[in-house]
């Protein structure tokens, strides 16, 4: 029996030289490096969640800005009439202020606002929508809106009324900030008021 050791050098029939069988082996093949593309499914889920959160944030910020855009316009108009009407034009100032407050209420409350409110009910409604006014429309400087526009020289503190109106425009609760219970109560009251007219 002629057995050869597999690790012993063999003679090549072509060259006649001894060959080492280990020299014929190739080096260890390393696996290819893991690439960054395509990412694992966990990264896809994370990316989708981040995009969703970003889109929702942008949506809600834009919606809030658009729902409150009327406030910045009303503040600009309020500041404009304060500059436009001089110290001797109190009744014109009060007329313009009343218009701005009604426009703001219509913009902020839409169909939920009873535009037929007049007199003390109107001032009480303003106080109710912004508790921070502390009843200053119906019991304080805001009462100048009742008769002042119809007087030649009404007496009132213009700066206090301006600041009160500015506070109301900035802080009143509009139709999107009302609770469901308040909204239902208002709709019922508006329907009753419209039925009596």
Q: How many domains does the chain have?
A: 1
Q: pTM higher than 0.75 for the full model?
A: no
Both structure tokens of 62? 């834009």
Any domain includes 4: no
* pLDDT tens-place values along the chain, 197 residues long: 555 555 555 665 666 566 787 778 888 888 888 888 888 899 999 999 999 999 999 999 999 898 889 999 999 999 999 899 887 888 999 999 999 999 999 998 888 888 899 999 999 999 999 989 999 999 999 999 999 988 888 999 999 999 999 999 999 987 777 655 555 665 666 666 666 65
Per-residue pLDDT at 34: 81
Any domain includes 185: no
Any domain includes 47: no
Q: Which domain holds residue 107?
A: 69-175
Any domain includes 84: yes
Any domain includes 180: no
Any domain includes 33: no
Any domain includes 101: yes
Q: Give the number of C-alpha atoms closer than 13 A to the C-alpha of residue 85, restricted to the C-beta side.
A: 18
Any domain includes 105: yes
The 3-state secondary structure of the chain, one letter per residue: CCCCCCCCCEECCCCCCEECHHHHCCCCCCCCCCCCCCCCHHHHHHHHHHHHHHHHHHHHHHHHHHHCHHHHHHHHHHHHHHHHCCCCCHHHHHHHHHHHHHHHHHHHHHHHCCCCCCHHHHHHHHHHHCHHHCCHHHHCHHHHHHHHHHCCCCCCCHHHHHHHHHHHHHHCCCCCCCCHHHHHHHHHHHHHHHHHC
């Amino acid at each position: 029996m002629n057995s050869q050791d597999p690790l012993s050098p063999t003679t090549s029939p072509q060259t006649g030289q001894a060959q080492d069988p280990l020299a014929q082996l190739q080096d260890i093949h390393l696996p290819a490096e893991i690439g960054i593309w395509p990412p694992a499914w966990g990264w896809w889920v994370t990316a989708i969640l981040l995009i969703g959160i970003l889109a929702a944030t942008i949506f809600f910020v834009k919606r809030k800005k658009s729902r409150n855009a009327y406030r910045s316009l009303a503040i600009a108009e309020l500041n404009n009439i304060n500059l436009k009407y001089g110290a001797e034009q109190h009744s014109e100032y009060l007329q313009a202020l009343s218009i701005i407050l009604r426009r703001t209420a219509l913009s902020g409350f839409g169909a939920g606002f009873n535009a037929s409110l007049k007199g003390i009910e109107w001032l009480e409604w303003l106080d109710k929508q912004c508790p921070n006014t502390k009843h200053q429309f119906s019991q304080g400087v805001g009462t100048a809106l009742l008769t002042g526009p119809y007087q030649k020289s009404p007496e009132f503190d213009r700066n206090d009324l301006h600041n009160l109106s500015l506070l109301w425009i900035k802080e009143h609760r509009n139709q999107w900030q009302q609770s469901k219970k308040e909204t239902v109560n208002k709709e019922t009251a508006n329907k009753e008021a419209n039925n009596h007219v």
